[in-house]
Amino acid sequence: MNNGSEARSDLDASDFGLGGFMSSVGKKVVSVLVVDGDHRFLDSIRSAPVFHQPGWVVRIAPSADAAESAVKEARADVFVVGGSLPDSDAVSLLKKLKELSPNSLRFLLYSDAEKDVLSKTQGLTHRKIQKPATAGELSLAIRQVLVTHLRIRRPEVASIVRDTKQLHVNTQPMQELLRTAEDPECELEDLARIVSQHPTAVATILQVVNTAFYGTLGDVDTIEEALQILGMDFVRNLAITELAKKQLRLSPGLHELANAILQHSIETSQYGLRMKSMVKNVRLIQQLSSIALLHDLGKLVLLASKGNDYADLMGQSVDSNTPCWMLERENYGCDHAAVGGFLFAMWGLPEVIVRSVTWHHQPEKVAEDGFCSTSLLHFANYAAHCNSGVSCYCGDRLNEELAERLGLSPEFAYEFE
Ligand SMILES: [Fe+2]
Ligand SMILES: [Fe+2]
């Protein structure tokens, strides 16, 4: 199993400084540098209309040397680095660019033959994109990561997560669990061994897998079996929520709320799976079911950080029938979605998790033409609130416009069998 601790250990809260990146993006011009050895690809980027729109400055560099000169000439907010460079390997260049510009957003472009670099770039990149990628796909990816980081790198969000020291990545054993998330070489046995060290996580996983929903007969009694049935991402994310709850050491009065939030997360995951009757992409549905487990973890962080004040806010959201995330924005200057997104970015979890969680109440900000993990998470969360309901806070309204655009009936949440 790959040990990514070296790259990841420096991805802590201080890495999310609000320095150069925010001030430069605040000027509303995003400077992108695309580095690749493939001249035809560079030409396609140079001539793409999408990169000639106001607000973008896109430069290209055919080598690592040219990239370094370009950075010295003028700042870049976003780096896109191709896997095949004539004078350097992509990993070394990404390290150099991170040193030169720590707050930059960094993308790796890789081909099938270059897959071995993936495990070496943990902590160095914000998103990895498989070739061939069109200029349109690249620009969408950059916009998605950019708006997400602008949302989560806000002082209000950063201070809430920084204050919650119990969740910082250096706390063992969370780090060992997180390390498996982006490790393509992690085997089922590795994850089983890591999860097995945490009795509360094991108990919850076995409890979940033995419910009728997953079609088992209630006789699953090992983590290995649970992993076969639920999948590695699902089991890992469930273990993360349990560990986070344990590490936060909430006061006894808040336990009931925390349990209700985690129960709702499992229900959201199950509604995500039920959506396979409406969405034919099986991989996307599976991804949704595991991401859903994490979607409201920011609420637990707010409970730890704000205590009874947040519990009262939840009550107010019920009384005023206002979605809780809107009241969080009014009162704390940010919502649980951004808090969760920041935490997961700090932990080095995959970008798709950071993005979907950050925008699950405003999926239109990053939504794609078809169903994507963010829009689906929004729908699954809404369906869970409509059907199972959490009584301690007011959930969310449906983005009907988005639902209609994607061909989903506004009544879809009531149409499950
Ligand atoms: Fe939420
Ligand atoms: Fe939720």
What CATH number has the domain bearing residue 68?
3.40.50.2300
Q: Based on the domain organization, do 167 and 310 belong to the same domain?
A: yes
Report pLDDT for 144. Answer: 95
Q: Based on the domain organization, do 143 and 161 belong to the same domain?
A: no
Strand ranges of the sheet holding 105-110, from the earlier edge strand across to the other edge:
56-61, 30-35, 78-82, 105-110, 127-130
Residue 10 lies in a domain: no
DSSP H/E element including 186? none
Residues in the chain with pLDDT values less than 50: 1-23
333 C-alpha to ligand 1 centroid (Å): 16
The domain boundary residue, chosen from 114, 133, 152: 152
376 C-alpha to ligand 2 centroid (Å): 12
DSSP string over 261-285: HHHHHHHHHHHHHHGGGT---HHHH
311 C-alpha to ligand 1 centroid (Å): 15
Residue 5 lies in a domain: no
Report pLDDT for 170. Answer: 58
The residue range of the domain holding 129 is 19-152
Cβ atoms 87, 62 nearer than 8 A: no
Residues 6+ apart with CB under 8 A from 345: 16, 149, 152, 354
- Taking Cα atoms as reference points, which of 150, 165, 182 lies closest to residue 342? 150
Residue 366 is given by DSSP the state T
212 C-alpha to ligand 1 centroid (Å): 26
The rounded distance, in Å, linking the Cα atoms of 20 and 40 is 32
358 C-alpha to ligand 2 centroid (Å): 12
Q: Give me the numbers of helices (H) and strands (E) for the chain, helices first please.
A: 21, 5
pTM: 0.90
Q: Based on the domain organization, do 90 and 203 belong to the same domain?
A: no
- Taking Cα atoms as reference points, which of 237, 347, 245 lies closest to residue 295? 237
Which domain CATH number covers 397?
1.10.3210.10
- Looking at all shown ligands, the one closest to residue 299's CA atom is 1
Report pLDDT for 16. Answer: 41
Is the peptide bond between 173 and the residue preceding it cis, with omega within 30 degrees of 0?
Answer: yes
268 C-alpha to ligand 2 centroid (Å): 7
93 C-alpha to ligand 2 centroid (Å): 39
Taking ligand 1, which is a single-atom ion, which protein residues have CB atoms under 5 Å away?
296
Cβ atoms 231, 286 nearer than 8 A: yes
DSSP H/E element including 247? helix 232-248
Q: Based on the domain organization, do 183 and 110 belong to the same domain?
A: no
- Taking Cα atoms as reference points, which of 236, 237, 258 lies closest to residue 246? 258
- Looking at all shown ligands, the one closest to residue 325's CA atom is 1
- Please report where in the chains the tokens 């985690």 appear, as a residue: 262
Q: How far is CA 279 from the centre of its chain?
A: 21
Q: How far is CA 385 from the centre of its chain?
A: 21
Q: Based on the domain organization, do 319 and 200 belong to the same domain?
A: yes
Three-class secondary structure of residue 33 per DSSP: strand
Cβ atoms 220, 229 nearer than 8 A: yes
Residue 2 lies in a domain: no
The rounded distance, in Å, linking the Cα atoms of 31 and 27 is 11
Tokens of 174: 């969370």
3 C-alpha to ligand 2 centroid (Å): 33
299 C-alpha to ligand 1 centroid (Å): 8
Q: Based on the domain organization, do 126 and 232 belong to the same domain?
A: no
Residues 6+ apart with CB under 8 A from 136: 48, 50
Cβ atoms 344, 353 nearer than 8 A: yes
- Please report where in the chains the tokens 């997400």 appear, as a residue: 148
The domain boundary residue, chosen from 152, 171, 191: 152
Query: How many structural domains does the chain have?
Result: 2
Residues 6+ apart with CB under 8 A from 393: 314, 315, 317, 318, 324
Cβ atoms 264, 272 nearer than 8 A: no
Q: Based on the domain organization, do 129 and 173 belong to the same domain?
A: no
* Model confidence pLDDT, tens digit, residues 316-335: 999 999 999 999 999 999 99
Q: For the chain, what is the radius of gyration of the CA atoms?
A: 21
Q: Based on the domain organization, do 144 and 96 belong to the same domain?
A: yes
Residue 11 lies in a domain: no
Report pLDDT for 122. Answer: 79
296 C-alpha to ligand 2 centroid (Å): 5
Residue type, 56: W
28 C-alpha to ligand 1 centroid (Å): 29
End-to-end CA distance of the chain: 42
295 C-alpha to ligand 2 centroid (Å): 6
The rounded distance, in Å, linking the Cα atoms of 91 and 100 is 14
The domain boundary residue, chosen from 112, 134, 152: 152
Tokens of 47: 């001539």
